[in-house]
């Protein structure tokens, strides 16, 4: 694998942030802003990897050409010192394969492939979809299991079948069934990443390799410390970090939509990344005031 940070037990690194996409005031991709944000996440927030063109990157409203532009900008900025994982999942197998091949040509280190959404395929359809995507390139694949958005969970039996594919190596889990995931980990070599910041610490306790985070935009360094503390046996220290960050998770993930609040939080840190694209809407003044209180309560230093 081409990743500069991965290991066999954490193939994409341990601390990753699902990066928002900076836009200009008129809604165009801000390429320089993309590179500034990627550099900040790696150099200041201790991210070992970055996921681009995922849900948090507003992939539903970026074109294929924009996705490639964003990916290439991130690779140029940090691709020599961080794992860059490209979102390539759609609810169309052929389109997803095209995105996967484009990401491979651009130099991505891996692929994030979400469960097909809206058309709600049966488990055999999921198996064939993910297998076709893994066969379409030579890149390692992280499955993204988030039934709250897609309407369809990846069943334990399906994950076990998929784990036999040599390029399907990991799962970003936002399903939250830690027992089922433990069964998969006991039966396969699949590596699990927490895809829900509210349960990052519990995931470590059952063998999760790390996080694919949204709050990592503002507390990535703290989350990296949590992982390091837990893995070195300092469980109480990791729990202390977890508890300290509860207001941050609440503010970004629970007040309204995560992309909206992640972008708003970056603005409060003095790192504006522009607006969201419709049908999302930017945070209101009232939401910003509450978010500011949440971030301060979680120990985040805001700009003056």
Give catalytic status of residue 175 as yes or no.
Answer: no
Q: Answer yes or no: 144 catalytic.
A: yes
The active-site residue, picked from 40, 144, 175, 263, is 144
* SS3 per-residue string spanning the chain: CCCCCCECCEECECEEEECCCCECCCCCECHHHHHHHHHHHHHCCCCCEEEECCCCCCHHHCCHHHHHHHHHHHHHHHCCCCEEEEECCCCCHHHHHHHHHHHHHHCCCEEEEECCCCCCCCHHHHHHHHHHHHHHCCCCEEEEECHHHHCCCCCHHHHHHHCCCCCEEEEEECCCCHHHHHHHHHHCCCEEEECCHHHHHHHHHCCCCEEEECCHHHHHHHHHHHHHHHHCCCHHHHHHHHHHCHHHHHHHHHCCCHHHHHHHHHHHCCCCCCCCCCCCCCCCHHHHHHHHHHHHHCCCCCCC
Active-site choice (172, 175, 193, 263): 172
Q: Which residues are catalytic?
A: 144, 172
């Amino acid at each position: 694998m081409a990743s500069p940070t991965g290991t066999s037990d954490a193939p994409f690194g341990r601390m990753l942030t699902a990066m928002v996409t900076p836009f200009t005031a008129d809604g165009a991709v801000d390429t320089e802003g993309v590179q500034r944000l990627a550099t900040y996440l790696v150099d200041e927030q201790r991210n070992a990897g970055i996921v681009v063109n995922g849900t948090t990157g507003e992939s539903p409203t970026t074109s294929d050409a924009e996705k490639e532009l964003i990916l290439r900008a991130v690779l140029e900025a940090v691709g020599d010192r961080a794992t860059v994982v490209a979102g390539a999942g759609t609810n169309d197998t052929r389109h997803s394969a095209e995105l996967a091949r484009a990401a491979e040509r651009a130099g991505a280190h891996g692929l994030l492939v979400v469960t097909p959404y809206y058309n709600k395929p049966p488990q055999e359809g999921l198996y064939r979809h993910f297998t076709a995507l893994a066969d379409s390139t030579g890149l390692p694949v992280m499955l993204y299991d988030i039934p709250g958005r897609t309407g369809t969970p990846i069943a334990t039996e399906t994950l076990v079948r998929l784990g036999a594919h040599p390029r399907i190596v990991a799962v970003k889990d936002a399903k939250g069934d830690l027992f089922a995931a433990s069964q998969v980990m006991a039966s396969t070599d699949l590596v699990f990443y927490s895809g829900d910041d509210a349960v990052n610490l519990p995931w470590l306790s059952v063998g999760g390799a790390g996080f694919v985070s949204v709050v990592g935009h503002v507390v990535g360094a703290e989350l990296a410390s949590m992982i390091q503390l837990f893995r070195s046996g300092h469980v109480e220290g990791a729990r202390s970090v977890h508890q300290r960050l509860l207001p941050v998770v609440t503010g970004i993930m629970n007040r309204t939509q995560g992309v909206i609040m992640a972008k708003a939080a970056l603005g409060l840190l003095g790192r504006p990344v522009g607006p969201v694209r419709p049908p999302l809407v930017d945070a209101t003044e009232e939401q910003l005031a509450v978010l500011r209180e949440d971030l301060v309560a979680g120990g985040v230093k805001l700009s003056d």
